[in-house]
Amino acid sequence: MVLTAILATGCTERPAAPVAYREPFRLQYHFSPEKNWMNDPNGLVYHDGEYHLFYQHNPYGDRWGHMSWGHAVSPDLMHWEHLPVALEEEDGIMIFSGSAVVDTRNTSGFGTADQPPMVAIYTGHTDTLQTQHIAYSVDRGRTWTKYAGNPVIDLGLKDFRDPKVFWHDESGQWIMVVSVPAEHNVHFYGSPDLKEWTFLSAFGPEGASDSIWECPDLFPLPIEGRDGATRWVLIVNIGSNAAAGGSGGQYFVGSFDGKTFTNDNPPEQVLWVDHGADFYAGVTWGDIPESDGRRILIGWFNNWQYAQDIPTSPWRSAQSVPRALALRETPQGLRLVQHPVREVESLRETPQTFAGLDFAAADALGLKGNQFELNAEIALNGADRVEIAVLARGAEQTVVGYDASEGVVFIDRTASGIGDFHDAFLARHTAPLAAPDGIVRLRLLVDWSSVELFAGDGLVALSDRVFPDPESQSIRFSHAGGSPVLTSLAIWPLKSTWGRPSL
């Protein structure tokens, strides 16, 4: 298994600075900036063989401020190349969240038919006003020009932000979905050229609406097992009172006709994208080739409750592992399904695999690691609770498991390590999950200071940051009641994506 990094030391008088991307708590296969603050993913677009990831960034410090768009590109969603800041705070206007598109038809006139422009659509922020702006690039996103006619939408509102834009073939126009946070709704606008926008409709408040609405996204998704069938999904993130407390994301399933989104479910029903504490501002990539066919989501791996105080340096915050999405028919209706993108499997090293182990035998294996994937199928056999503790040593551990008496899957980080930076951090987070056949399937991604759990073949996701002692690397197995069996267990060490060898 992958062992914890040993930080280089210099002379005996004082230790040298940690090596970049080997600092304490630095995630090894998740995106994080080299230094300073990061929050929402922005401008996700695929163009000319590259996945672009822009993100909210403070170039000058490791706390929120001076919002600009940081920028990185990747050929495979795993290995990222840092690029210079793309859109900088300027003239008293911060660059808040937004999206980017490849204008293949050159509707904007910023490029040519042979060299279509990339166009970024973002919120310009001041203390008293938020408006929608655009900028363009004709060199694969390496340099950007802000449109001279900005702003392209100005409602005179203090809170009006986070535009997500896409081309809608059926209505032959660009569609923007943008949040009006204080009113707990989103607006839809249409445009022929990304410059002139017409109001189409509004949606909300529905679902979770007792906190601000931010960072919307709208896209069609295929329904598993129904060839060609799709429904539309609207993601809306909320600033507090989410599934695990603090910030989080909800989604709606319904229809979109080029003007209006209609929710399939009762307006009071709440569906959570992720039931952990640390998944916010989730947004999907645009312009992924039809030959690929995936809708890929990524989220900010943090929570506004404590984001500015997590114990990392010289950077603060990371992004989740990208996830491929679909819809699944359940007795309760259509529900979102999430799986880590297949590119994660390219990081796998030689696995350890087992079958038919009871929990005592599994615990006796003495498995260790802090950078791995674990897949387990568990036959409950009357167990009230089954648990897999990771990043463990002594009393310190992060516990993942299934509680049959409650009918929930959970991550318990109450003893996970450092957590005194916020009184809500050390907590247990749950998600409902049925096990009618007495079988529970868990897929777990662990990375130095994070745990991402996908259960029920992707039907449930929980994402939590944790900050354990670097020596806490044991993997433990325990249960209460019954005679549970690990019918299958596979553990893969995962390679670092930052060019750092495993130690």
User: Would you name the residues annotated as active-site residues?
Assistant: 40
Distance separating alpha carbons of residues 389 and 131, to the nearest angstrom: 47
Q: Are 123 and 130 in contact (CB under 8 A)?
A: yes
Token pair for 270: 């709440």
Q: What is the DSSP letter of 307?
A: G
Token pair for 259: 């003007």
Closest CA to 315 of 70, 35, 26: 35
CB count, 10 Å around CB of 390? 26
Strand partners, 153: 132
Token pair for 369: 């690691």
Closest CA to 95 of 118, 73, 121, 128: 121
Task: Supply φ then ψ for residue 84, to 5 degrees.
Answer: -60, 160
Q: Are 213 and 184 in contact (CB under 8 A)?
A: yes
CA distance to 332, 425, 497, per residue, from 165 (Å):
30, 34, 30
Cis (ω within 30 of 0) for the bond into 205? yes
Token pair for 468: 């354990």
Distance separating alpha carbons of residues 376 and 345, to the nearest angstrom: 16
Distance separating alpha carbons of residues 41 and 460, to the nearest angstrom: 22
Q: Are 38 and 64 in contact (CB under 8 A)?
A: no
CA distance to 124, 211, 214, 406, per residue, from 242 (Å):
27, 9, 13, 20
Task: Supply φ then ψ for residue 193, to 5 degrees.
Answer: -145, 10
